[in-house]
Structure 1
Amino acid sequence: MAIRIAQSSDSIQAGPLIYSSGPVAFEYIFSRKHGPTIGDFLVAEFAHGATMFSHRHHHVYELEGDVVGSIASFDASSHGGTFLANARAIFRHYGLRGIVKGLIFELRLVKAPRKACLYLCHIAVREDCRGKGVAAQMINFMAAKARGGHYRYLSLDVAEQNSNALRLYEQMGFKVRVRNKSYNKILDNHLYMELDLDAD
């Protein structure tokens, strides 16, 4: 097993993992009625894109040659640096409707990283490998990287109904800082959580 920097060649296995990290939100923002299947979009952007879905922002968990886990990380600068690429890709494939939905989602439910914070997203583990500590290992790996990069906090957002993920994050020391209430009946409320890396 190994946690490593993602490569473009991981796209076929990593794309579905990214989708599984937030299927309800992906289905809402990237409507299949207005563009390619979400799976195809994520695989293509992971392999070749400059968006937040690119391999350039991800690490993967490899087990016996298979990618079974994914995790992405951003700070305020790198997150902002994907904004134009995100907008172009979404507009090209899903039109203005997709851009508007994505912007509202980020403004209302999933906030951009703050200063001194390394933000984690697209945390996903292949279904047959869940419950084996893969997600915890990836988060601990990123925590070590964050400390080495002199970040003060790790942060993430999680859908309030995702009880398994929420339980794991709480066990690892993440604290709920903000509860962002959903603005429609499709999307769940989201919890913004932080882990203080200096609290050990």
Structure 2
Amino acid sequence: MSIRAAQSADSAAATALVFLSGPVAFEHIFNQAHGPHISDFLATEFAKTATMFSHRHHFVYEDGGRVIATIGGFDKPSHDATFIGNAKAIFSQYGWRGILKGLLFELRLVKPPRKGCYYLCHIVVDPDWRGKGIAAKLINFMAARAQTLGYSVLSLDVAELNVGALRLYQQMGFNIVKRNKTYNGVLDNHLYMEKSLLAEG
């Protein structure tokens, strides 16, 4: 078992997991009535380098060559650098509907990383491998990476109803900083959380 930087060749396996990090949000923003199936869109962008879904922003946990978990990481500059790529990719596949839904989601529920934080996303373990501490290993790996990059704070967002993930994050030292209330009947409220890395330095 090992954690490594994701590669474009991981696109099919990794994006099947990435989708599980927020299926309701993905289906809301990337409605296949207006474009390709979500899995096809994510796999295409994961294999490329321009968007936030790219392999270059992700790490995978593998066992025997099989990808069984994913995690993404951004700081503010790296996230901001994907803005144009995100917009182009979404517009070309889903038109203005996708752009507007994506912007509203980011402005209201899951906001861009704040300056000084290393932001975690797409934390997903294959359902058959859950309960083995893999998510915690991925988070600890990214905490060490954040410290190497000079960051002292980890941050993430989690759907309020995702009680299993919320419990794990709290056990790992993340504290709820803000509750972002949903703006429609489809999406859940989201909790923005942070964890100080100073005591781990």
| TM class by smaller structure | over 0.9
The question of 1:188 aligning with 2:188 is answered yes
SS in 2 for 1:199: helix
* Range with bigger deviation, 43-52 or 63-72: 43-52
Match of 2:53 in 1: 53
CA distance, structure 2, for counterparts of residue 12 and residue 187 of structure 1? 26
1:1-34 CA-to-partner distances (Å, cap 9, x unmatched) read 1100000000110011110000000000000100
Match of 2:38 in 1: 38
The question of 1:13 aligning with 2:13 is answered yes
Match of 2:127 in 1: 127
Identity of aligned residues (%): 63
Match of 1:152 in 2: 152
Give TM-score scaled by structure 2 length.
Answer: 0.98
Structure 1 unaligned runs (5+)?
A: none
Give the count of matched residue pairs: 200
SS in 2 for 1:157: strand
SS in 1 for 2:73: strand
Give the C-alpha shift of residue 89 in structure 1.
0.3
CA distance, structure 1, for counterparts of residue 67 and residue 193 of structure 2? 26
The question of 1:77 aligning with 2:66 is answered no
CA distance, structure 2, for counterparts of residue 39 and residue 191 of structure 1? 26
Letter in 1 for 2:184: N
Match of 1:169 in 2: 169
Match of 1:2 in 2: 2
CA distance, structure 1, for counterparts of residue 80 and residue 147 of structure 2? 21
Where do residues 88-99 of structure 1 align in structure 2 (5 Å cutoff)? 88-99=88-99
Letter in 1 for 2:152: R
* Range with bigger deviation, 44-53 or 156-165: 44-53
Match of 1:104 in 2: 104
Give the C-alpha shift of residue 199 in structure 1.
3.4
Give the C-alpha shift of residue 116 in structure 1.
1.4
Match of 1:23 in 2: 23
Give the C-alpha shift of residue 148 in structure 1.
1.1
SS in 2 for 1:70: strand
* Range with bigger deviation, 46-55 or 174-183: 46-55
CA distance, structure 2, for counterparts of residue 5 and residue 84 of structure 1? 23
1:69-104 CA-to-partner distances (Å, cap 9, x unmatched) read 000100000000000000000000000000000000
TM superposition outliers: structure 1 runs of 4+ over 2 Å? none
SS in 2 for 1:155: strand
CA distance, structure 1, for counterparts of residue 158 and residue 152 of structure 2? 20
CA distance, structure 2, for counterparts of residue 149 and residue 15 of structure 1? 26
Give the C-alpha shift of residue 189 in structure 1.
0.1
1:101-121 CA-to-partner distances (Å, cap 9, x unmatched) read 000000000111112110000
SS in 2 for 1:104: helix
Structure 2 unaligned runs (5+)?
A: none
